[in-house]
Amino acid sequence: MAIGSYPSTRLRRTRQAAFIRDMVRETRLVPAQLIQPLFVAENALRGPVAAMPGVTRLDLDELVRECEALYALGIRSVALFPVTPAERKTPNGDEALNPDSLMCRAIKAVKQALPQIGIVADVALDPYTSHGQDGVLDEAGRVDNDASCEILRRQALLYARCGVDIVAPSDMMDGRIGHIRQVLERDGCKDTLILSYAAKYASSFYGPFRDAVGSGSNLGKGGKETYQMDPANTDEALREVALDLDEGADIVMVKPGLPYLDIIRRIKDGFGVPVAAYQVSGEYSMLKAAAANGWLDEKKAVLEALVCLRRAGADMILSYHAKDAAGWLGA
């Protein structure tokens, strides 16, 4: 009988009890690998997000308390997303460069209260534009790549000066990483990390997020296919990552998460750099809805999904489940 054949080799032996399953487990998930996205709002814009059960738009005091609670659970980083009042949205997203914007005040408030927590700041114009696109439009109504990059680099620098640890350009404009890295170096913010949304797909899974930040209604029937990636493409993702790394990105992101496990693995194998995955709002809402209907065990399904992202090669995961997952992992 050949060595390694049945019955000499029974793989079920290492599955028969919890102690041995724990010892041979290949992929580990710990709270420090999770990043909790948080929505920041004021006045009437505060409150629950209907399309994302359990997610709430927080004012500054609530934000600080939530960050403290997350840190106590072992989560070491949060990603902030502002909700901008309609009256402050303009075609050019001017509020993105306001040094007294809600985002700037949020960064400072969290850093003052909890300096040890890492803050990831979204760099994009869609929370601030009246048309809902991630960049400014030219006279023909198309997103102007280079004009948008000029604003994005100033936005990133503003957040760096406010004390943010990581700027995360999510816009998918060509060349924006180089623009941002150059201005950060020039201004003495050389230690500010850039987490690039390098492979961000034009996905159908973003709907609940757009409702949460109020950009969906502005976008209307418009799409973002001229700058976000085609879901059918994989080689193109590697080109995007290579360009962003060459321009100075420290971490590259794949968004969405679970539908793009193959992209995460190809990037990790191909570049060997820190890789983030974003388990997006649509993924969150689907799991929540299924659990609410009794179709899935929420705890088991969520932890399985997060482990799958880690197994594919993600070093860190942005997830709206992060707080719950950290609690389950520590239980």
Catalytically active residues are 200, 255
Given a contact cutoff of 8 angstroms between Cβ atoms, the answer to whether 306 and 319 are in contact is: yes
Q: How many C-beta neighbours within 10 Å does residue 126 have?
A: 25
Q: How many C-beta neighbours within 10 Å does residue 72 have?
A: 10
Q: How many residues does the structure list for the chain?
A: 331
What amino acid is encoded at 181 in this protein? R
For residue 103, give the nearest of 210, 195, 213 by alpha carbon. Answer: 213
Q: Among positive and negative, which fits the CA dihedral 203, 206, 207, 210?
A: negative
What amino acid is encoded at 301 in this protein? A
Both structure tokens of 21: 């399953």
Q: What is the Cα–Cα distance from 86 to 214, expressed in whole angstroms?
A: 8
For residue 76, give the nearest of 322, 328, 290, 251 by alpha carbon. Answer: 322
Instruction: Report the SS3 class of residue 174.
Output: coil
Interior angle at CA 204, CA 125 and CA 281, nearest 5: 70
Q: Among positive and negative, which fits the CA dihedral 195, 249, 127, 189?
A: positive
Known binding positions:
240
Known binding positions for Mg(2+):
240
Q: Is 191 exposed, middle or buried (0-12, 13-18, 19+ CB in 10 A)?
A: exposed
Q: What is the Cα–Cα distance from 312 to 154, expressed in whole angstroms?
A: 34
Work out whether strand 275-279 and strand 251-255 pair parallel, antiparallel, or are unpaired: parallel
Q: What is the Cα–Cα distance from 81 to 100, expressed in whole angstroms?
A: 15
